[in-house]
């Protein structure tokens, strides 16, 4: 067990873990939204299969491009079989958007670029060969890789898969994540405040939403009292029922911090305990019963930040994909004071004005670990974590992690 390590060490440890996914499922296309693709997808044929019209116009052969007029032979709609254009005279076939380009035709003049008198066509602006057409294989060619294993499927991917006639999709199984929150002072939603209980279980529901947001299956257990035996038995139960377990609270060094006490009993299974960061220095990562276990601090800010920095690294790999953080190097327009020697992840507003990024701390009440509303800006700014290894002066560059 490693203790009080720095952030880089902690990330190296997490990234070096040998993570095994939980198998593959075959699901209906609509149910694949948000799931992680378990195999590469390749095109089975060219798309489009043949040249198509991109405009409503008239198809003809370039051999007759200098002809003064063309005789219109017929109408070609989308969905029709490919018609044949004779080559013994200047003929044209009216061809609508999405229709197959007639055989022997290599030019398409839009309707607005020509004049029609009865069934005779004269061209005002001559197109180039192939203009206004989509050629066979323009979308993709047979054998071309279209989606990669490990892709989190969004609505765009669903549309592409539908175009490939993929009715059922192979995706990685979703891990079940047990969430346990402890504290005698905690109330569940809907309960009334009393003299001894006056804090609602924000962390439990925050973690449930975070697990859902990232693709896992959360199981929120009833609030635990500050009782060592109850904490131990419920963690054992969650380890049996789930693929990963997250606790919030009880990870510090007080008399009622039973996650810390549990780690002392099972030191061989604890990978690291304590990281020199602010907030969240008391985080624990262990592999109890070969299951991934994270003991997160109880303050809401600390819970949220440590989930983003640490838990997601393992959770996403269990899902078959990888954590890809969006980070920026942003010049400061003000000074930032910092007295703590720990690496700090300070919540900030991230603003993008015409491609120029800036940060500020507008409406941030304080940077204490209990102020969750700091992550919910009133002006719809994006939320980020300003990474501070020391105090900063205006004009200096700072790293920002976008949440």
Total domains in the chain come to 4
- CB-CB contact of 274 with 4 (8 Å): yes
Do 216 and 307 belong together in one domain?
yes
Asked whether residue 309 is assigned to any structural domain, the reply reads yes
> Burial code of 264-292, b = ≥16 C-beta within 10 A, e = fewer?
eeeeebbbbbbbebbbbbbbbbbebeebb
Structure pTM?
A: 0.88
- CB-CB contact of 110 with 121 (8 Å): no
pLDDT for position 256? 57
Do 264 and 207 belong together in one domain?
yes
Do 229 and 336 belong together in one domain?
no
pLDDT for position 317? 97
Helix axes 228-241, 258-265, angle to 10 degrees: 70
Q: At which of 264, 299, 318 does a domain end? A: 318
Do 100 and 178 belong together in one domain?
no
pLDDT for position 260? 82
pLDDT for position 363? 87
Do 180 and 109 belong together in one domain?
no
Asked whether residue 359 is assigned to any structural domain, the reply reads yes
pLDDT for position 89? 95
Asked whether residue 226 is assigned to any structural domain, the reply reads yes
Do 293 and 373 belong together in one domain?
no
Q: At which of 284, 318, 352 does a domain end? A: 318
Mean pLDDT by 10 residues, the chain (403 residues): 95 96 97 97 96 97 95 95 96 97 98 92 95 96 97 97 97 98 90 87 96 97 90 94 93 70 90 95 95 94 96 97 95 93 95 92 76 87 95 96 96
Asked whether residue 392 is assigned to any structural domain, the reply reads yes
CATH of the domain at 165: 3.90.105.10
Separation in Å, CA 337 to CA 334, 341, 392: 10, 12, 7
CATH of the domain at 386: 2.40.340.10
* Domain housing 371: 326-402
Do 37 and 8 belong together in one domain?
no
pLDDT for position 141? 96
Do 35 and 15 belong together in one domain?
no
Asked whether residue 139 is assigned to any structural domain, the reply reads no
pLDDT for position 372? 87
Do 306 and 339 belong together in one domain?
no
pLDDT for position 43? 97
Asked whether residue 165 is assigned to any structural domain, the reply reads yes
80 φ/ψ angles, rounded to the nearest 5 degrees: -75, 155
Do 260 and 150 belong together in one domain?
no
Q: Sign of dihedral through CA atoms 368, 373, 377, 382? A: positive
- In whole angstroms, give the CA distance from residue 203 to residue 25: 31
Do 35 and 166 belong together in one domain?
yes
Q: At which of 318, 334, 362 does a domain end? A: 318
CATH of the domain at 298: 3.40.980.10
Asked whether residue 188 is assigned to any structural domain, the reply reads yes
pLDDT for position 170? 98
Asked whether residue 107 is assigned to any structural domain, the reply reads yes
pLDDT for position 255? 58
Do 189 and 304 belong together in one domain?
yes
């Amino acid at each position: 067990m490693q203790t009080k390590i720095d952030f880089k060490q902690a990330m190296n440890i997490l990234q070096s873990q040998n993570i095994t996914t939980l198998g593959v499922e075959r699901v209906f296309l609509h149910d694949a939204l948000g799931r992680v693709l378990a195999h590469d997808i390749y095109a089975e044929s060219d798309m489009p299969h043949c040249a198509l019209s991109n405009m409503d116009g008239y198809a003809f052969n370039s051999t007759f491009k200098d002809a003064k007029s063309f005789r219109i032979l017929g109408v070609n709609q989308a969905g029709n079989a490919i018609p044949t254009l004779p080559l013994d005279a200047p003929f044209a076939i009216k061809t609508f958007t999405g229709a197959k380009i007639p055989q022997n035709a290599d030019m398409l003049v839009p309707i607005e670029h020509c004049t029609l008198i009865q069934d005779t066509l004269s061209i005002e602006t001559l197109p180039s060969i192939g203009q206004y057409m989509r050629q066979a294989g323009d979308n993709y060619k047979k054998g071309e890789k279209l989606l990669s294993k490990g892709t989190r499927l969004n609505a765009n991917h669903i549309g592409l898969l539908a175009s490939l006639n993929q009715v059922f999709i192979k995706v990685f199984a979703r891990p079940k994540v047990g969430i346990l929150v402890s504290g005698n002072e905690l109330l569940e939603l809907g309960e009334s405040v009393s003299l001894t209980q006056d804090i609602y279980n924000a962390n439990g529901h925050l973690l449930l939403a975070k697990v859902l947001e990232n693709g896992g299956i959360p199981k929120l257990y009833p609030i635990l009292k500050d009782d060592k035996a109850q904490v131990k038995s419920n963690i054992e139960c969650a380890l049996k029922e789930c693929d990963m377990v997250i606790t919030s609270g009880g990870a510090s060094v007080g008399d009622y911090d039973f996650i810390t006490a549990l780690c002392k009993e099972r030191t061989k299974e604890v990978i690291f305990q304590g990281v020199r960061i602010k907030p969240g220095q008391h985080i624990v990562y262990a592999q109890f019963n070969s299951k991934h276990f994270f003991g997160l601090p109880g303050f809401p800010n600390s819970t949220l930040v440590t989930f983003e920095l640490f838990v997601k690294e393992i959770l996403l790999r269990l899902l078959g994909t990888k954590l890809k953080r969006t980070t920026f190097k942003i010049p400061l327009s003000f000074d930032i004071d910092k007295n703590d020697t720990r690496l700090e992840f300070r919540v900030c507003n991230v603003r993008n004005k015409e491609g120029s990024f800036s940060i500020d701390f507008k409406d941030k009440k304080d940077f204490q670990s209990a102020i969750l509303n700091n992550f919910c800006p009133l002006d719809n700014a994006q939320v980020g974590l300003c990474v501070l290894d020391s105090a900063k002066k205006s004009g200096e560059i700072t790293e920002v992690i976008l949440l």
